[in-house]
């Protein structure tokens, strides 16, 4: 039965209108929040190809009405199970990606592909918590892939950054550079192979790339180019259900992503520091900006040094070596859904920058989670096969004072900026009582190793106070660099972050 305290409205906040529409369609058809989140995820694989894929990795934080909260971990594993000794080294291709203010080298190609988890995760969550048939859940995405989706400004910008990777293979060029020209804003992206794959999956949930002929074909395809993925890797992959990390902040309890990943733990450390200091300074004040900057800097220093405070600051056990694992996620998207029955889902997924490889006959882009040198300080492929890679992704719930209901559900893309984006939105809503849309829209700052990255819009006295703390790089305009927080206050309102194409739907 619906909770009498909740208005009869389902709310979706997502990174693309087509993903939000897919979720809303499923809710309107009688699906619950988990059907809707999975439907949005499948749709995002079509309409947000620069951010996510069925061959990427992710997490979903779930509050099923009347049942225990659970964090579904379907992030990527390190590959190589059953690979014989003396096998050739994996093959990487270096690709220079030019950003607004810098050029960064990424590694892509078959040697960068980790064991994918997104498809397994969607199927697992649907099987455990869904209400509609799988065919109903995948139908909006399948239709979108076949009929086509207009490339949004956000995706056009991201595809332009990734063009050197997207142009690597003929299969990738057929999707993203049809006719030899990269898809631009307003063009229509078609992916009929992905549409056919989704239709087949709706009829038979076992028709995946984890077993059978498609698994063998995928492994052979990547091996031919120097990949590490094995049939054993695919067969052994499992979605892990974890108890969410609980963090006390003011009179609220936060639930977020637990170790062995560590984005949620670092967010928890920052909130714990603020909690111990007492009330925060007024919104928009120089004092608040300095407090946030120094808190971010302190947590970053703890992360770099694996400081014991990271483990000790929170009440629970953060697990073994939460800071020492390989970590990823840059190209990332998020969706949050709350339904009329009190079910809430917050899901973040990523495909890295993609490898440039497409699984033959499926239209599914492979990840490049193993291909970023700054994320593997011990060297590429130093981790043993079968290890779950860590992430900064932090889908999060804020519970009411009694702990009975979710007051706020949110998450973000943006790699290291995920925790700083969430921190600033949480302080605005919980401490200052800001309207959700205002909290998401407010200018952000981020501590980056030894300086501050700052969005435009801060008062001159705030910038001056920050400059006294560290060098400040003020951006000329708002940017997806600072994350994309898509949030829902169940039963009340949603907010989509314009930095990453945020869209809200109410059903």
d(CA 81, CA 102): 37
Cα separation, 39 vs 27, in Å, equals 10
- The helix (H) or strand (E) run that includes residue 58 is strand 57-63
CB 70 within 8 A of CB 344: no
Whose tokens are 């990427």? That residue is 56
- The DSSP bridge partners found for residue 150 are 188
* Helix/strand/coil percentages in the chain, nearest 5: 35, 20, 40
Residue 9 near residue 131 (C-beta atoms within 8 A): no
Length of the chain: 507
Cα 342–chain centre separation: 23
- The catalytic site residues sit at 332
- Side-chain-side CA neighbours of 291 within 13 Å: the count stands at 21
Q: Which residues pair with 247 in a beta bridge?
A: 254
Q: What is the DSSP string of 436-475?
A: HHHHHHS--EEEETTEEEE-TT--HHHHHHHHTTS-EEE-
């Amino acid at each position: 039965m619906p909770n009498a305290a909740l208005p009869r409205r389902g709310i979706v906040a997502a990174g693309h209108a087509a993903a939000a529409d897919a979720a809303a369609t499923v809710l309107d058809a009688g699906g619950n929040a988990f059907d809707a989140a999975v439907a949005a995820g499948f749709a995002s694989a079509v309409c947000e190809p620069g951010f996510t894929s069925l061959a990427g990795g992710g997490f979903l934080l779930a509050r099923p009405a009347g049942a225990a909260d659970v964090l579904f971990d379907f992030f990527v594993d390190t590959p190589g199970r059953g690979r014989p000794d003396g096998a050739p080294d994996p093959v990487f291709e270096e690709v220079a990606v030019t950003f607004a203010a810098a050029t960064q080298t990424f590694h892509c190609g078959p040697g960068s592909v980790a064991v994918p988890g997104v498809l397994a995760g969607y199927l697992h969550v649907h099987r455990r918590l869904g209400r509609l048939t799988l065919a109903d859940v995948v139908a909006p995405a399948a239709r979108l892939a076949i009929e086509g989706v207009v490339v949004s400004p956000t995706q056009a910008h991201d595809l332009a950054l990734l063009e050197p990777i997207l142009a690597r293979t003929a299969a990738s060029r057929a999707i993203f550079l049809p006719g030899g020209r990269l898809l631009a804003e307003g063009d229509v992206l078609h992916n009929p192979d992905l549409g056919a794959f989704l239709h087949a999956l709706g009829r038979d949930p076992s028709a995946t790339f984890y077993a059978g002929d498609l698994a063998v074909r995928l492994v052979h395809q990547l091996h031919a180019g120097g990949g590490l993925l094995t049939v054993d890797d695919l067969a052994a992959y499992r979605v892990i259900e974890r108890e969410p990390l609980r963090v006390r902040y003011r009179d609220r309890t936060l639930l977020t992503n637990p170790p062995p990943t560590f984005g949620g733990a670092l967010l928890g450390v920052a909130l714990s520091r603020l909690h111990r200091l007492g009330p925060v300074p007024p919104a928009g004040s120089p004092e608040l900006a300095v407090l946030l900057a120094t808190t971010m800097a302190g947590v970053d220093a703890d992360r770099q040094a694996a400081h014991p405070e990271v483990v000790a600051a929170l009440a629970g056990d953060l697990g073994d070596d939460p800071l020492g694992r390989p970590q990823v996620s840059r190209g990332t998207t998020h969706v949050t859904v709350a339904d009329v029955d009190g079910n809430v889902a917050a899901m973040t997924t990523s495909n890295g920058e993609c490898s440039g490889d497409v699984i033959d006959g499926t239209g599914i882009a492979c990840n490049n989670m193993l291909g970023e040198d700054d994320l593997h300080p011990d060297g590429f492929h130093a981790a043993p096969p079968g290890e779950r890679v860590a992430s900064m992704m932090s889908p999060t719930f804020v519970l009411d004072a009694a702990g009975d209901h979710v007051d706020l559900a949110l998450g973000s893309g943006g790699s290291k900026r995920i925790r700083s984006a969430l921190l600033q939105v949480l302080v605005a809503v919980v401490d200052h009582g800001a309207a959700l849309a205002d909290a998401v829209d407010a200018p952000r700052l981020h501590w980056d190793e030894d300086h501050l990255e700052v969005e435009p819009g801060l008062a001159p006295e705030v910038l001056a106070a920050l400059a006294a703390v560290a060098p400040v790089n003020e951006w000329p305009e708002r940017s997806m660099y600072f994350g994309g927080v898509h949030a829902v206050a169940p039963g009340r309102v949603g907010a989509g972050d314009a930095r990453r194409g945020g869209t809200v739907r109410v059903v």
